[in-house]
Amino acid sequence: YELAYGYAHDDPSPLVHAARACLEHDRPTTGRAFAERATQEYPKWGPAWEIAGDIAVVQKDRGPARAAYKRALSAEGPVDKARVKRKLAALK
């Protein structure tokens, strides 16, 4: 994923995919690093905020998860808003 991102600095997808892969393989700390990089470099990209929220949930960081999901709802990019709203509701 780092190599893919190195070839396409204008595309946040490799960072988001890397974060998701880390989460799926029980590596949330590494995933969080990818998600943070994605949200810092592409603050308007909704999928980056959604995966950041997912990782925060796994790490039991409810406040940051809630904030990330809210950002995902108002950001750009392909985000399933209904799914994110369900995730938000589950945090309450």
The Cα–Cα gap between 22 and 71 comes to 21
pLDDT digits (tens, 9 = 90+) for 35-44: 999 999 999 9
Domain ranges within the chain, ordered by starting residue: 2-90
In this structure, what token pair is assigned to residue 51?
A: 């995966």
2-90 to CATH, choices 1.10.1660.10, 1.25.40.10, 3.40.980.10, 1.10.10.10: 1.25.40.10
pLDDT digits (tens, 9 = 90+) for 3-49: 545 556 678 898 999 999 999 999 999 999 999 999 999 999 999 99
The Cα–Cα gap between 32 and 22 comes to 9
